[in-house]
Structure 1
Amino acid sequence: MKQRLTREEFLEYIFSENYEALQGDKLRLVRIRIPGSEVSLAHLIGVSDSEVYKNLGLHIGVHLGEDHTGESLGLLQFTPWEGAVVAADIATKVANVEIGFMDRFNGSLILTGERENIKIALQEVLDYFGNTLKFGACELTEN
């Protein structure tokens, strides 16, 4: 039966044999992040000023010419990052909200719409990820 090494023991094992031989050469240590399965941010911003939309870039692209002043925003952050796509699908099916921004490479999702619809969408997304997918899910915060 193999003995499982701790992280420190593993690093010591890898570097103990090779470190002396590598001295003087360039030694490159790469650290990777292995994302967990979690919703780390779910926040509802009440009625927003037009400057908020402009600074977030929500007034360009597919939203060019639209005025979202007075609408609310829902902000979500996921790991793994593909969770943003699933959340966008759920949110738009359960409530009258629009996707303001979705980044499937970093797991960010911004929803726009009326406050009550944003709240419903965020709660449904948290419920699905927490209860169905068994993700770690933060609590919904709002202001």
Structure 2
Amino acid sequence: MNEVKKIERIIQESVPGKQVTLAHVLASPMPDICERLGVANIGAVGLMTFTSSETAIIAADVATKSADVEIGFLDRFTGSLVIIGDVSSVETSIESVNQMLSSMLGFTVVRVTRT
């Protein structure tokens, strides 16, 4: 008997989105949070994540040019960005990143949240 083997082929495709998936400000974070993140506790920590992940590089550039903030962490492989500074500067920089990505690059952005 000749059995015909069915071979199922699956094609997986990754289609990167154009999204800001998190934009959050930690105002006056607890010292142990900053310690575990490895960043100075100078008022606020801003957290952002992006798809496509390389967008974190652009966001870091915009953030540091728009307000007096420093990059606490940047990962172009996961699309994560952590910025530090005073609360007002961190909020301003995150809003600037959202605005530029939305208007210039057509990204979908999330509302900036704060705790």
TM-score under structure 2 length normalisation: 0.87
Q: Is the 8 A contact 2:42 2:84 kept in 1?
A: no
Larger Rg: 1
More helix by share: 1
1:40 aligns with 2:25: no
- The sequence identity of aligned pairs, in percent, is 33
How many matched pairs?
Answer: 112
**Cα distance in 2 between the residues matched to 1:30 and 1:53:** 42
**Cα distance in 2 between the residues matched to 1:72 and 1:46:** 5
Q: Which residue pairs with 1:101 in the alignment?
A: 73
Q: Is the 8 A contact 1:37 1:136 kept in 2?
A: yes
Structure 2 counterpart SS, 1:21:
coil
Q: Which residue pairs with 1:119 in the alignment?
A: 91
Amino acid at match of 1:48: P
Q: Which residue pairs with 2:114 in the alignment?
A: 142
Q: Which residue pairs with 2:33 in the alignment?
A: 52
CA shift for structure 1 position 111: 0.2
Amino acid at match of 1:21: K
**Cα distance in 1 between the residues matched to 2:29 and 2:11:** 42
Amino acid at match of 1:20: K
Q: Is the 8 A contact 1:100 1:110 kept in 2?
A: yes
Amino acid at match of 2:15: I
Q: Which residue pairs with 1:21 in the alignment?
A: 6
CA shift for structure 1 position 69: 2.6
CA shift for structure 1 position 34: 1.9
Structure 2 counterpart SS, 1:84:
helix
Amino acid at match of 1:51: D
Q: CA RMSD in A?
A: 1.9
CA shift for structure 1 position 50: 1.7
Structure 2 counterpart SS, 1:136:
coil
Structure 1 counterpart SS, 2:41:
coil
TM-score under structure 1 length normalisation: 0.71
Question: Which structure would you say has the larger RCO, counting Cα contacts within 8 Å and 6 or more residues apart?
Answer: 2
Amino acid at match of 1:129: L
